[in-house]
Structure 1
Amino acid sequence: MPRPISRQTALLATLTTAVAVLAVAGVRLGLSTWLEAASVVTGAVCVWLTVRESVWNFPISLANVSLFCVLFFQSRLFADAGLQAVYFVLSLIGWRLWLHGGERGTALRISRIRPRHAGVMVACGIVLTLVLWMTLRYAGGSASFFDALTTSLSLCAQWMLNRKHVESWYAWIAADLVYVPLYAYKELYLTAGLYAVFLVMAAMGLMQWRATWRAQDGGTAHPAPGPVGAAA
């Protein structure tokens, strides 16, 4: 008999489906473009797969960041547009790490970041935020400080995600808390709604990955799935 669908899996599927429906509705009502809708839907699918530890999140991510790069450039969110290009490269790196970054080239397992590395990450995030803020102010970018802050948080989150660190979800949550009002301010309402959903999914990802890490620590968890795997 097939295994019953867990409550979390059902909620993730529901949220992703709701995002797709709202994206199409937004276009039909003239509240957004097809470009924004496609960016939103691929983004929701990508986060869903990431929460479930499916390595398929990376090819979806490559499509997603390409779409968002164009969208953000059109909205003069230059740091976010540039961030998507960096994401493209990081996604390729993360794809390889998830498949072969574990012991002896095996699939990577969920882990916690070391305190020393966490301190370096915070310091790098602060410096990057300040540098980007000054650069964006000079370039005439919109909402330059918050654009720089979310860019720094997202880069730190992606670096940790590539290594399957639980703490990546804390960084994503912090970024989403800023992204929602930022995109609403830029009148990207559909994208703002998407990031509100991302916030919920990131909280679910944090709980799921923490539970998996605890199970691994007790010797009961399995390694991260391969290219066609997904968490149950």
Structure 2
Amino acid sequence: MSLLEVLAVLFSAAGVWLTGRRLMLCWPVMLVASVLYGVVFWQAHLYADTALQGVFAALSLYGWWGWLRGVAHDGAVWSVQPPRNAVVGGVALGLVAGLLMGAALLHWTDDPNPILDALLSAFSILGQVWMARRYLVSWVVWLVVDVLYTGLFVVRELYLTAGLYAAFVALAVAGWVQWRAADAAEGINAQRE
């Protein structure tokens, strides 16, 4: 465990906590976390996750912009119910992209868990894009991804990061509940993008 990993954990936890509260500040905080974790994962030879942090940095800017378009009267954002074909298509694309990236990692790198690393990276991108679009279902993606990442990080001996992802599981559940409750209170939960 390094100071860099500790800082990455703190910024990541703060970013997810702010996201659960639907506060715009989550995006710059998550941008910093992505940069820090990019270095941590590079040092751990988790190359898909290293690249993922670059994608997350770009998606933080996209999310910031996207959330500016969905601000409620109290300054928080509201969620959007995606069309069914967007959900099915997103999951299928995540699976195909993850398997293709996993095959590349298996062939060209020393990644010790190439398929899992790649699938989790692909579905993390899906979760982040859906979060940027304010899809309530993004919390379900994060719940599954965070459970699996917890195990991967234990195997890679990134124990503090594994603890963070275990906490992310609880934060994903809390985010789901908070977003549903806020939308129900505001009567927005039926909106479609």
Q: Do the structures match in fold with TM over 0.5?
A: yes
Once the two structures are superposed, residues 67-125 of structure 1 have per-residue CA deviations (whole angstroms, 9 ceiling, x without a partner) of: 0000001100000000000011111011011113579xx98521111101111111111
Q: 2 CA distance for matches of 1:205 and 1:157?
A: 13
1:113 and 2:82 matched = yes
Q: 2 CA distance for matches of 1:38 and 1:100?
A: 30
1:182 and 2:152 matched = yes
Which letter maps to 2:35?
S
Once the two structures are superposed, residues 36-73 of structure 1 have per-residue CA deviations (whole angstroms, 9 ceiling, x without a partner) of: 00000101100110000110001101110000000001
Give TM-score, length-normalised by structure 2.
0.91
What is the match of residue 184 of structure 2? 214
What is the match of residue 145 of structure 1? 115
Which letter maps to 1:190?
L
User: What is the 5 A alignment of 1:29-48?
Assistant: 32-48=1-17
1:171 and 2:144 matched = no
Structure 1: tracts of 5 or more residues without a match:
1-31, 220-232
| Counterpart selection for 1:72 from 26, 41, 46 | 41
1:201 and 2:171 matched = yes
Q: 2 CA distance for matches of 1:214 and 1:67?
A: 36
| Counterpart selection for 2:126 from 156, 179, 185 | 156
**3-state SS of the aligned residue for 2:179?**
helix
CA contact (8 A) 1:110 1:213 kept: yes
How far the C-alpha of 1:218 sits from its partner, in A, is 6.5
The structure with the largest alpha-carbon Rg is 1
Structure 2: tracts of 5 or more residues without a match:
none
Aligned-residue sequence identity (percent) comes to 35
How far the C-alpha of 1:145 sits from its partner, in A, is 1.1
CA contact (8 A) 1:111 1:213 kept: no
How far the C-alpha of 1:138 sits from its partner, in A, is 1.1
Distance change (3 Å), C-alpha of 1:218 and 1:67:
closer
Give TM-score, length-normalised by structure 1.
0.76
1:53 and 2:22 matched = yes
Distance change (3 Å), C-alpha of 1:110 and 1:172:
same
CA contact (8 A) 2:98 2:119 kept: yes
Q: Cα RMSD over matched residues?
A: 1.8
| Counterpart selection for 1:192 from 159, 162, 182 | 162
**3-state SS of the aligned residue for 2:134?**
coil
Q: Which runs of 4+ in 1 moved over 4 A?
A: none
Which letter maps to 1:215?
A
